[in-house]
Structure 1
């Protein structure tokens, strides 16, 4: 195969010399490029890949040394071979200067054609071999890069697969294990150690140590599994509990499969452990919630039955309105409790819900801190407030535009004291008989909550104080001017 030609740059300011160099070097069969000055040579170098530069030392404007220095400053030409031609006697200092500038050889004038051709040929071949090596190196590097990329891609896939497996195991709270049935050696993965709450550094996996982490009531499950495999069982699954070194008890489900030899003897058992503690707790919460819903439903029905049974009215419409109002009050507090997942209810929220149907604007003033009521307390107090609002709207301060109502409350040593003060309404007279509202209010506050309901039938408006323990303890009444004898009825004399 014909070898690739290389470019040889001939630089001289005299056309006759350039012609002579062309004649001498023509037989080499290379590409000869002509430049009549140093600047022209630089232009050629920037456009063409040059193997060897033959340059005259003595040239106007830019001599051979200066041209060589400029060529060497360019990164592309730092290794390009340069041969100086000098028509004058060159001293050793000049030769050193030329070599410093990057010259590889000197040719004196008169030029011996055979010598010049031989030198140019050597550097042209050297350039060609160098380029060939560079090409082979590039090909080798490309192959290495391609192979490396393949290995990296394969490694990345393996790593990604392992990460997905680890993430799946971590997300699913799973662990895997392997037990050599013959030698007794165990192998646990990271997930298995995590489930049992131990680390590879301080826990040796063996039957005795594993059994020590099992709940005492579930140790027989391990013995049963071993016995089943000895009988020829190939797969086994069971639920069991573990007791971590920190004392925490976790529920797990274990699945194991046996590997046998040609004779059918078990040689290895491998399995997966799944932490199902959260599922067990969810089942317990679900069962508890079902029991709680059943209990609350029965309580709500009992309250509704009491409302229906004890409500009295002279006509059907009044009876229906009274029952609906009380059941709606119960429904509103149930909604509030449901929104809090039955954790409790804010007192101010209960009052706001009872106020909502009236749209009384500035007739009512509220004052008091945030108070979180237990569910049972919230239900009972909501019905009591409903009775107070209903009676006030019918017969008291809220029955007229001029009436005013002030509700304030405070908490001292787990005792809630709520003050209800009416003014500006119709003239108040002490009621002579008890209605359902009064009976239910007294029964709920005093009997169910262990509190007290106190009333002062002032002519200018009812003054009521409710004392409700925020715990299950019975409250002690505070001294005051309230009439507690018999707990007089809420119904107004006009009703």
Structure 2
């Protein structure tokens, strides 16, 4: 491979000498650059990279020493090789001065061609090697920078990945662990998530077999022994659910997944795994199962009530019968909707009254007054039907059957006893009934039997006055899951008899 040519600057004010130097150095195969004065040489240096400068000491205006001093002052040329040529005999002092100015060698006149070529060749090769080393050094630095950038990028990605993993573990309530396969003396490694799940800190908790087993629920310790036995039999992966008991006494459900690492002989040498806290899922499953049983119970109760309504409703005409049944079942459906929206936690008394008022356009005929009262589901269902009967009777025969009629509903709570007052006025003349209809009998039966309360009626001429007293804490209407309370329908049957 051909070597890259370097530039050699020949500086002399005599053309004949310059020509002689060209002839002598031609065989070196380098680029020879000519300058006939010190100023011209400076111009060349500013434009061209020069490997070696061959300069005559004795030149007019700017001699070799002065030129060398100016060249050395420039940062680019502080290491450029300069060889002085002198046609006069120089003393040691002159040589010392020349070396101080930056000369690397002296060549006396007459010039010996072989000696000059040898000197120039040495410095040209030195320059070429220096440039090659600089180039290689730059390439190496570039590679180092590129590799460093790759490592930094890889490290950043690894750090980001670890952060994402940590965030995912934290968000997913997960922890990871590692265990040298030796129950007695094997090393354990827990990450932050594992400590968090078990409710301990890395600073105060030493991970060892005894301490880990102490945190397991006593009924689930066998799960750990079973897992160890399975791995000893050759199982490579194992998953199980277990409970832990945190130091503060809280019980948590977890699912553990483990995988074994084996040596060349197939012997387990390490087990790594992930622990996931599934307590919330377990609680959700329990709530779901409880809700399913509760829904089943509520549905059976509702069906029993609907069945009683259909069987016991009396009417002289089919249309009246259909309207009566539909009204009572719709009342039951409305309260069921209210309870569903509260996840069967209960219902507000004012909401029940509003729902019963909804079918009527009564304007200012009705006055309501009372505090917010939260009713138990069974109480809400029974009271909704009772209110429906009162509204229905009032709309047909009482104060709400005429625009002049007025209705005031007041309620209060004292010592967990709800007292509701229903007072009608301004309607048709009221006469006490000779016998109780189904609505009145069912209202009495449901309030007294189902809720353990009392219902009192005062058939005043100016309007009905009804007083209901309902205990808020009694749960007689709430049977256990899988059973439904039919006492209400039975009482209705007796009332209709």
- What is the TM-score normalised by the length of structure 2? 0.68
C-alpha displacement of 1:202: 1.1
Q: Is the 8 A contact 2:477 2:485 kept in 1?
A: no
TM-score by length of 1: 0.68
Q: CA deviation at 1:296?
A: 0.5
Deviations 1:20-75 (A, max 9, x none): 99999999999999999999999999999999999999999999999999999999
2: CA distance, partners of 1:94 / 1:403: 137
Rounded to whole Å, the distance in 1 between the matches of 2:423 and 2:242 is: 62
Superposition deviation, residue 241 in structure 1: 0.9
- Give the C-alpha shift of residue 236 in structure 1: 2.2
Instruction: Name the residue aligned to 1:388.
Output: 390
Q: 1:189 to 1:484 in 2, by over 3 A?
A: closer
Mean Cα displacement is larger for which, 422-431 or 25-34? Answer: 25-34
> Deviation of residue 265 (structure 1)?
2.4
| CA shift for structure 1 position 178 | 5.6
Following TM superposition, by how much is the alpha carbon of 1:396 offset from its aligned partner in structure 2, in angstroms?
Answer: 0.3
In structure 2, relative to structure 1, the CA distance for the partners of 1:332 and 1:83 (3 Å cut) is: farther
Q: Is residue 301–residue 486 contact of structure 2 (8 Å, CA) maintained in 1? A: no
- Between 334-343 and 406-415, report the one with greater CA deviation: 406-415
Q: State whether residues 293 and 481 of structure 2, in contact with CA within 8 Å, keep that contact through their aligned partners in structure 1.
A: no
SS of equivalent to 1:492: helix
Decide whether the 8 Å contact of 1:398 with 1:404 is kept in 2.
Answer: yes
Deviations 1:383-420 (A, max 9, x none): 01000000000000000111111111111222111111
CA contact (8 A) 1:65 1:101 kept: yes
Sort the Cα spacing of 1:473 and 1:260 in 2 relative to 1 into closer, same or farther, 3 A.
Answer: closer
Q: 1:61 to 1:480 in 2, by over 3 A?
A: same
Mapped to 2, the partners of 1:322 and 1:438 lie a distance apart of 13
Q: Once the two structures are superposed, what CA deviation does each residue of 1:60-97 show, in whole Å capped at 9, x if it has no partner?
A: 99999999999999999999999999999999999999
For the 8 Å contact 1:25–1:117, the answer to whether it is kept is yes
Rounded to whole Å, the distance in 2 between the matches of 1:101 and 1:465 is 125
**Correspondence for 1:483:** 485
Counterpart-to-counterpart distance in 1, 2:237 and 2:415: 62
Match of 1:340 in 2: 342
Structure 2 residue 127 is matched with structure 1 residue 127: yes
The answer to which of 239-248 and 82-91 deviates more is 82-91
Q: Is the 8 A contact 2:350 2:372 kept in 1?
A: yes
- Structure 1 residues 128 and 492: CA distance shift in structure 2, 3 A: same
Q: 1:341 to 1:115 in 2, by over 3 A?
A: farther
- Displacement of 1:422 in angstroms is 0.6
Instruction: Tell me by how many angstroms 1:494 deviates.
Output: 20
After the TM superposition, which of the residue ranges 169-178 and 247-256 deviates more from structure 2? 169-178
1:493 counterpart SS class: helix
Tell me which moved more, 299-308 or 42-51: 42-51
CA spacing shift, 1:63–1:244, aligned 2, 3 Å: farther
Aligned mates of 2:327, 2:104 — CA distance in 1: 113
Deviates more, 1:159-168 or 1:130-139: 130-139
Distance (Å, rounded) in 2 between the aligned partners of 1:482 and 1:243: 38
When structure 1 is superposed on structure 2, of 158-167 and 467-476 the one drifting more is: 467-476
What value does the CA root-mean-square deviation take over the aligned residues? 8.6
Identify the range of structure 1 (9-18 vs 218-227) with the bigger mean alpha-carbon deviation: 9-18
Aligned 8 A contact 1:422 1:461 in 2: yes
- Change over 3 Å in CA distance of 1:267–1:41 after alignment to 2: closer
Tell me, yes or no, if the aligned pair for 1:431 and 1:489 is still in contact at 8 Å.
Answer: no
Aligned partners of 1:364 and 1:405 also within 8 Å = yes
266-275 or 50-59: bigger deviation = 50-59
How far off is 1:230 after superposition? 2.4
Return closer, same or farther for 1:482/1:132 CA change in 2, 3 Å cut-off. Answer: closer
**Whole-Å Cα distance in 1 between the matches of residues 483 and 430 of structure 2?**
17
Range moving further from structure 2, 366-375 or 10-19? 10-19
Query: SS state of the match for residue 17, structure 2?
Result: helix
Deviates more, 1:10-19 or 1:201-210: 10-19
Q: Cα gap change, 1:343/1:39 in structure 2, threshold over 3 Å: closer, same or farther?
A: farther
| Residues 458 and 464 in structure 2, CA contact (< 8 A), matched pair in contact too | yes
Residue segments in structure 2 that go unaligned for 5+ positions in a row: none
